[in-house]
Amino acid sequence: MSSESEKDKERLVQAAKTFFFHMQDLASFTNALTELFNSSMNTQILLMTVKEDGNVKDVFEQMLKIFKEMQSAVAAKQDKLQSEPLSSKIATAMCSVVEKGSSVKELQQSAKEMFKHVHTPVIVSVLNSGNILESLESSLSALLKYPIMNLQLSDFCRKDTKEQSDATTSEKSPRPGPSKDTTIDALKKLQVALNTENAKDTIESAADQMEQIVKTMGPILEILQKAIKTMETKFSVFKKAKN
């Protein structure tokens, strides 16, 4: 095999391994976002479950389902806020407290009760800024068009038995790479899945496509990370202000 082919094979292996780790990160970030969303919006959206013997398509479809459920919850919350503005709620509640001739302490307690759920729209504003959910849906839909959707995650990278054992004995073990046998098997499957008609070099073509897929996943990870960080910051500020 020529040096060019060896180089393309290495590119394909590295892109496949990066894809595998990106998929793990996507699942982790999506679940982190879902947990924040559930706690803030009082929803019960199920977290993702990712198995190495599961298809890539299944993972992306789980994510799409989660983001669609979030969109529905956000839309419902916005409709409710528009139909019953917060200012109206506060005015009505304050009038009721005053009419009852409540003391200053009782007034303060009532105000606390009224404002304890004011943070809920925070997540709505964060997700709506930059159309986060729509952007995530669009990017995932684009990824679903690639010809690797029916491959299993284990086709991209698989932990060896020895590596799994080592990982349990070391807290800071690096992420394991694919075994030699797995790499050969994965290369064959990837080349078949990514084979394009009239491609002069199937390895080079497969490597190019795999790198493009990884590149497409980058912005999705960035959007999720930014959304999670923004929400955590805003919730922290709100809690301090409330206390």
Could you give the CA distance from residue 44 to residue 35 in angstroms, rounded to a whole number?
9
pLDDT of residue 16: 93
Q: Contact at 8 Å (CB) between 203 and 16?
A: no
3-state secondary structure of 145: coil
In a domain? residue 211: yes
| Predicted pLDDT at 160 | 47
Angle between helices 120-128 and 56-83 (to 10 degrees): 120
Instruction: Establish if 105 belongs to a structural domain.
Output: no
- Measure the CA–CA gap between 163 and 173, rounded to whole angstroms: 9
Question: Does 103 reside within a domain?
Answer: no
55 - beta bridge partners? 152
Residue 112 lies in a domain: no
Task: Judge whether 96 lies within some domain.
Answer: no
> What pTM does this model have?
0.73
Report the alpha-carbon distance of residue 91 to residue 88 in Å, rounded: 5
Q: In which domain, by residue range, is 57 found? A: 3-79+121-242
Residue 86 lies inside a defined structural domain of this protein: no
Q: For residue 210, is it within any domain?
A: yes
* 86 CB neighbour count, 10 Å cutoff: 13
Q: Which residue type occupies 56?
A: V
Q: What is the model's pLDDT at position 190?
A: 87
Closest residue by Cα to residue 126 from 230, 16, 241: 230
Number of domains in the chain: 1
**Predicted local confidence at residue 31, as pLDDT:** 96
User: How is residue 55 annotated by DSSP?
Assistant: B
What is residue 79's three-state secondary structure? Answer: helix
DSSP state letter for 200? S
pLDDT tens string, the chain, 243 residues long: the values are 567 788 998 999 999 999 999 999 999 999 999 999 998 888 999 999 998 889 999 999 999 999 999 999 988 887 776 766 555 555 665 566 566 665 656 656 655 555 554 545 677 888 887 789 999 999 999 999 999 999 999 899 865 433 443 443 344 445 554 455 556 777 788 888 887 655 566 888 899 999 999 999 999 999 999 989 988 887 765 555 555
Q: Would you say residue 37 lies in a domain?
A: yes
